[in-house]
Structure 1
Amino acid sequence: MPRRANRRSARPEPVSVRAGSPCPCGAGGTYAACCGRFHSGRETAPTAEALMRSRYSAFVVRDEPYLLRTWAPATRPASVDFDPGTRWAGLEIAGTTDGTLFHTTGTVTFVARYTQGGEPGSLHERSRFEKVDGAWVYVDGTFL
């Protein structure tokens, strides 16, 4: 009887982004100097926009622990469902309200571009953020 090939895991493989690669969030600089420092836990995002950018990059590299760690406890899901057919292609920040070092809440409006099954698409959302124990977390978002 022939051996069956191993089934692929339901969880997609992480996208390889190296420390010296351009950061997926598009802010400029390397991944290590930009979002990678937040993903590693060495630093926390100082603003709601920085957290939004780092969460986008976490979706690119499929960093579930970071996404869950930076999600507000009241709205956090048990897990993150990464679609293996989705490839994130770019982030544009359309606007921010509050969300600086001096605020406790803020919003970030963004457009995230992707391809799914070879077809281009975009996600346009206004995300709400708040500080919990001094750190920014994602609360929820409204699709626009």
Structure 2
Amino acid sequence: MQCPCNPEKDYKNCCQIAHKNINSATTAEQLMRSRYSAFVLANIDYLQKSHHSSTRPTKKEKREIEKWTTSVNWLKLEVLNSTSDTVEFKAYFMENGSINVIHENSKFVKENGHWVYLGAAE
């Protein structure tokens, strides 16, 4: 299976490694790519684990995220810029017959020894 974050790589040699062991994501960009793949694959437990404890979605929000992420058709990820702790990206998806895009500059920090998503960078 191709990896959702980069169709030139196999999932088993890319994001699956982080999905099995979050500590293997050694950069903010690797964590961000693994989170995108988790959205595509509806791996909500990984999304929760890779989210900072102070901004982690509630159980109700988790159910809403799972419902939404399985209702859209994920198309592709473009990483536009990456620093040591931020990643600017565009994630394209099809919803209700229209192509939409999430464009965000995300902030990442380390918590409990591994990278986590904090939120949109200011």
Moved over 6 A (4+): none
Change (3 A) 1:86 1:142: farther
- Separation in 2 of the partners of 1:94 and 1:78? 29
Q: Which amino acid aligns with 2:77?
A: L
User: Is residue 90 of structure 1 aligned with residue 76 of structure 2?
Assistant: yes
User: Is residue 23 of structure 1 aligned with residue 9 of structure 2?
Assistant: no
User: Is residue 71 of structure 1 aligned with residue 51 of structure 2?
Assistant: yes
- Deviation at residue 139 of structure 1 after TM alignment: 0.3
Unaligned runs of 5+ in 2: none
Q: Is the 8 A contact 2:23 2:115 kept in 1?
A: no
- Structure-to-structure mapping, 1:1-144, within 5 angstroms: 21-26=1-6, 28-41=8-21, 43-79=23-59, 80=62, 81-82=65-66, 83=68, 84-98=70-84, 106-141=85-120
TM-score (norm 1): 0.75
SS at match of 2:110: strand
Structure having greater relative contact order (Cα 8 Å, sep ≥ 6): 2
TM-score (norm 2): 0.87
Please provide the CA RMSD for this pair: 1.8
- Deviation at residue 42 of structure 1 after TM alignment: 7.1
Larger Rg: 1
Unaligned runs of 5+ in 1: 1-20, 99-105
